[in-house]
Amino acid sequence: MLKFTAEHEWLKLEDGVATVGITTHAAEQLGDLVFVELPEVGAELVKDGNAATVESVKAASDVYSPLDGEVTEVNQAIVDDPSLVNSDPQAAGWFFKLRLKNVADADALMDEAAYKELIG
């Protein structure tokens, strides 16, 4: 099950852990990524707080945490090769995994239909 935020993050929830990345729409808007900075494993993130940074040939942008939780894993592959985010943003281009403080909070996020409506 994928959920989405208005800030263009997606998350896939499995056993209380959310895999988080940026949406295909966000990756297209940013253009070719040249740098990705991820949070540290063990970092406590808060909903809507800065979680990561991406830089493209166009601009630098923040990636926000969709919910409260602790980072359990980061995707080193996208640090080594930021173009993975452009080529496969909603699978191999994931950013980090977050053990959610309250799994039920994910219910308040958008489903895919609502997100598609948001981006028009």
In degrees rounded to 5, what are phi and psi of residue 49?
A: -85, 155
Q: What is the pLDDT, as a whole number, of residue 17?
A: 98
Q: Give the Cα separation of 113 and 71 in Å (integer).
A: 28
Spell out the residues 6+ positions from residue 80 whose beta carbon is closer than 8 angstroms to its own. none
Q: Give the Cα separation of 84 and 3 in Å (integer).
A: 21
Candidates 39, 21, 50, 29; CA nearest to 120 is 29
The DSSP symbol for 41 reads: T
Name the helix (H) or strand (E) containing 21. Answer: strand 17-22
Q: Give the Cα separation of 67 and 76 in Å (integer).
A: 21
pLDDT tens, the chain, 120 aa long: 799 999 999 999 999 999 999 999 999 999 999 999 999 999 999 999 999 999 999 889 999 999 999 999 999 999 999 999 999 999 999 999 999 999 999 999 999 999 999 999
The DSSP symbol for 40 reads: P
pTM of the model: 0.96
